[in-house]
Every structure is written in structure tokens, then in C-alpha cells.
Amino acid sequence: MVKTGVSLPDELYEKLVSLAQRAGYPSISKAIRDAVELFIAFNTWWSSQGPVTGVLHLLAEAKHGSEIQEALQDAEEVVEAVLYRRLGASYIAVIVVVEGEPGRIKDLYKKLTRLRGVLAVQPALLPAPAAATRGVQG
């Protein structure tokens, strides 16, 4: 096992301690290990050589929905399905199911993060097992 030090701003550390305690973690070290494991799991797709699959979850201002729709249409070769959910009068949540070549999904992710009115984009993507893909080549 390797020991390492991590510097955190006070406010972030306080949030970590509070959440770890509420979640029942036996120690802050265990919570940090779990966070690192999640970081690795959520970001492995970025360096994948083969196809990836999963979802992009967006939060955006509703008035920019057409710009999001246009970006998704431009990436139709990797977009499998889209779910729009209105959040009050001003916001939308968009769940985009994607599958395909990681470079193309990276391009879509970057484009969505740069669109006006998009407040957050959270990927949940994993390398796709070869048997699970629909003929997608890496």
C-alpha cells in the first residue's frame, strides 16, 4: 500500500468529513480511496482504445434546448437515445445514451460543455465489451 498526502481547501475538507460521516465511512482515508476509485472508473473511457457506452447527463437552461438538439443531431452516429425532462420553467435535464468510438464521444462531450446555457455535463461512460456493441469498430 502507498501512502500519499492530499491538500484540500478547508471548506472542501469539511464537506468531505460531513458526507463521509453521514454515509457511515469508518475513516476519511476510506472515503478518499472510494473517491479515487470512482474517479478512475468514471474516467477510464477517456483513454479507451475501443468503443465506449453509457450516458451523458446535462443540466441546461431550457431556452438553449434547440442548440443542444442540434449538437446531438450532428453526432447521430454515436447518439442512441435522448430523454429531455423539463425542470420548472427555466431548466432542462437531458440524458443522452451514447455508444461508439471514444474520440467521437469526446468531441460531443467537449461541444456540449461549451454550449451557451449548458450548466453541467456529467459523463457516465465505460469501455464497451466487444460482444455488447452493435458492430462498432474502435
Instruction: Indicate the burial class of 126 (C-beta count within 10 angstroms; 0-12, 13-18, 19 or more).
Output: middle
Q: Residue 132: its pLDDT value, please?
A: 53
Q: Residue 118: its pLDDT value, please?
A: 97
pLDDT tens digits for range 60-84 = 999 999 999 999 999 999 999 999 9
Residues of the chain with pLDDT under 50: 136-138
Name residue, grid cell 467537449: 110
Instruction: Work out the angle between the directed axes of helices 10-22 and 28-43 (0-180°, nearest 10).
Output: 100
Q: Residue 130: its pLDDT value, please?
A: 65
Q: Residue 138: its pLDDT value, please?
A: 44
Q: Residue 133: its pLDDT value, please?
A: 52
